Amino acid sequence: MTALSVSTSSAASLRAEALVIGVAKGPKGVVLAPGTEAVNEAFEGKLAEILGTLGATGAEGEAVKVPSPAGVKAGFVLAVGLGEAGDEGFEPEALRHAAGVAARTLAGVKKAALALPAESAAEVEAVALGGLLGSYAFGTYKGKGNGKEPVGELVVLAPRKGSKDAKAAVERAAAVGEEMNRARDLVNLAPNDLTPKSFAATVQAAAKEHGLKVEVLDEKALTKGGYGGLMGVGGGSVNPPRLVKVAYTHPKAESTLAFVGKGITYDSGGISLKPAGYNETMKCDMAGAAAVFAAVVAAKRLGLAVNVTGWLALAENMPSGSAVRPGDVLRIYGGKTVEVLNTDAEGRLVLADALVRAGEENPDVIVDVATLTGAMVMALGTRTFGVMSNNDELRADLHALAGEVGEESWPMPMPAHLRKGMTESTIADLANMGERMGGGLVAGLFLQEFVAEGTDWAHLDIAGPAYHEGAPFGYTPKGGTASGVRTLVAFAERTATGKA
């Protein structure tokens, strides 16, 4: 795992294998970002000219290496693009992306210094988090020597003034980034290694390490308790379902949040089998549960003055003689019945159980996170998650918070007329399918049916950004991304300060 530290040394004097500086796109070519003065002096004032000759433009995603001159202690200088140069500095997300590009480029390097333009604690945190996320690599199944090791240590250079704030910012980045990388690991694990039982065991181990309370309901307890959604969806698998509760409490907390995560450790579609080409990445269908788990642990590590309870609805959706069938009726925890019209609309069934159970503890707000619908991907693409809520102010707040921490989201409506299609079942309270058009909205409306009356609730459909199948970019790797974690942590932090 890449180590993070902070230093107030000058960029030119710090000993490291690599020194990372920022460059931007100017009106007449590449320009040096603030904080590079001493380095440029060592290059006799010609660093921008040299970089331009090598093809640098300052565009985001760009990385150009230059051997260091005598006045720079690092072995070489890596210039990373920050995008358009502006009069008001660079946005935190641009700093995160640049640090992520640098960390990916420097795989195999033991120590690198990040001398990106970071004057405030927020900017220092952005650089540190981007670097830590960019250094991520999943190597569980690869033999030694198959690929470079992640950069060993990243030293974030910060101004001497406010060094205590800078140190705290790096520590916060480490807490959030390491938990995001833990979530990425879970998403990337092969489904034969991550089952509901082993996922629950991972949570138990982390709970013991960090002093969290955990409770696991196995198939016997779920059957006895009447959790029809989890037992129905998990009934077709030899790996039975689990409902995991992991709780962080703070002695000075005045609010309680419940985070609910969809945890389908593998989704074949069940009897409504997915077509060829749609099964290969379905190990990622537990990304919502991974995000919730990571957020609870991060809240504990940050010591936030808010109570946070995570509910992980874990099941494997498989076709077999014991699998739930289209036409079956399930009784969800709490008593409502659901006619199953499509077994591939299984996430909403397991979430229904968890939402009702979470609501019994009377939290101030419930937020669920799920790779719920392909319809949301069709609507918003692969980098943006949808936000739905029974409270317009909560929806707007989560959308704004997501933007502040660098996650792309979009507020989605909950049209009342779409509810009708789900309530027309002739044999049950609800059907798990409604109108085909607006399927992502229908799924959200279904979930709302299981939220306790008077409880503020929001739904994050992360089906698009939870798993990245293309080439890495910025700090985003191929595979699991830990989408939603930063938004949940920011919401918990905002609640703890009384601003939510």
The three state secondary structure string of 457-500 is EEEEECCCCCEECCCCECCECCEECCCCHHHHHHHHHHHHCCCC
Tell me the C-alpha to C-alpha distance, in Å, between residue 143 and each of 138, 140, 426.
12, 8, 56
CATH label, 3-157, candidates 3.40.220.10, 3.10.580.10, 3.40.50.150, 3.40.50.360? 3.40.220.10
Strand partners, 244: 216, 312
Q: Any bridge partners for residue 267, and if so which? A: 317
pLDDT, tens only, 306-316: 999 999 999 99
Whole-number pLDDT of residue 85: 81
Q: pLDDT tens-digit profile of 182-231?
A: 999 999 999 999 999 999 999 999 999 999 999 999 999 999 999 999 99
Distances (CA, A) of 58 to 27, 123, 128, 342, 406: 11, 19, 20, 50, 21
Distances (CA, A) of 349 to 164, 339, 443: 48, 10, 10
Question: Tokens at residue 217, please?
Answer: 């309901």
Question: What residues contact 474, with CB distance under 8 A and at least 6 apart?
Answer: 60, 61, 96, 97, 100, 101, 130, 134
Residues paired with 243 in a beta bridge:
217, 313
State the amino acid at position 132 in one-letter form: L
The residue assigned the tokens 């003065």 is 37
DSSP 361: T
- Taking residue 8's Cβ as centre, other Cβ atoms within 10 Å add up to 14
Helix, strand or coil for residue 420? helix
* Contact in structure between 307 and 366 (CB atoms under 8 Å): no
Sheet architecture: strand order including 242-248: 213-217, 242-248, 307-317, 256-267, 365-370, 456-461, 385-389, 409-411
Backbone region of residue 35 per phi and psi (left: phi > 0; alpha: psi in -120 to 50; beta: other values): left
Choice among 245, 283, 348, 494 that is catalytic? 348
Contact 229/350 with Cβ under 8 angstroms? yes
With residue 61 as reference, give the H or E element that holds it: none
Q: Was domain 182-496 assigned CATH 3.40.630.10? A: yes
Tokens linked to 17: 């294998």
- The DSSP-derived string for 146-215 is SSPPPPSEEEEE--STTHHHHHHHHHHHHHHHHHHHHHHHHHHS-TTT--HHHHHHHHHHHHHHHT-EEE
Tokens read off for 368? 């669920």
- Element (DSSP H or E) covering residue 25: strand 18-26
- Strands (E) across 68-184 are located at 76-84, 111-115, 153-157
Q: What is the pLDDT of residues 81-133, one digit of tens each?
A: 999 987 778 999 999 999 999 999 999 999 999 999 999 999 999 999 999 99
Residues in the chain: 500
Mind listing the pLDDT tens digit of every residue in the chain (500 residues)? 899 999 999 999 999 999 999 999 998 899 999 989 999 999 999 999 999 999 999 999 999 999 999 999 999 999 999 999 877 789 999 999 999 999 999 999 999 999 999 999 999 999 999 999 999 999 899 887 677 899 999 999 998 877 799 999 999 999 999 999 999 999 999 999 999 999 999 999 999 999 999 999 999 999 999 999 999 999 999 999 999 999 999 999 999 999 999 999 999 999 999 998 889 999 999 999 999 999 999 999 999 999 999 999 999 999 999 999 999 999 999 999 999 999 999 999 999 999 999 999 999 999 999 999 999 999 999 999 999 999 999 999 999 999 999 999 999 999 999 999 998 899 999 999 998 899 999 999 999 999 999 999 999 999 999 999 999 999 999 999 999 999 999 999 999 998 64
Answer for the pair 217, 267: CB distance below 8 angstroms, yes or no. Answer: no
**149 with 112: CB under 8 angstroms?**
no
Indicate the domain borders of the chain: 3-157, 182-496
* 479: Cα separation from own chain's centroid: 12
- Is 73 one of the annotated active-site residues of the chain? no
DSSP code, position 305: S
Between CA 16 and CA 131 the distance in angstroms is: 16
Residue 347's nearest CA partner among 259, 292, 270, 402 is: 270
CA distance between the termini of the chain: 34
User: How distant, in Å, are the alpha carbons of 74, 154, 395, 447 from that of 258?
Assistant: 47, 34, 16, 15
Question: What type of residue is 314?
Answer: L
Query: What span, in angstroms and rounded, lies between the C-alpha atoms of 263 and 267?
Result: 10
Residue type, 166: A
Tokens representing 285 are 């269908």
0.85 surpassed by pTM: yes
Which of the residues 73, 167, 274, 383 is marked catalytic?
274
b/e per residue, 97-107, with b = 16+ CB within 10 A? Answer: bbbbbbbbbbe
Question: At 387, which amino acid appears?
Answer: V
- The alpha carbon of residue 313 and the mean position of all alpha carbons in its chain are separated, in whole angstroms, by 17
Which amino acid is located at 222 in the chain?
A: L
* Cα separation, 52 vs 69, whole angstroms: 17
CA distance 24 to 86: 9
Q: How far apart are CA 241 and CA 200, in angstroms?
A: 10
pLDDT score, position 499:
60
Per the annotation, the verdict on 172 as an active-site residue is no
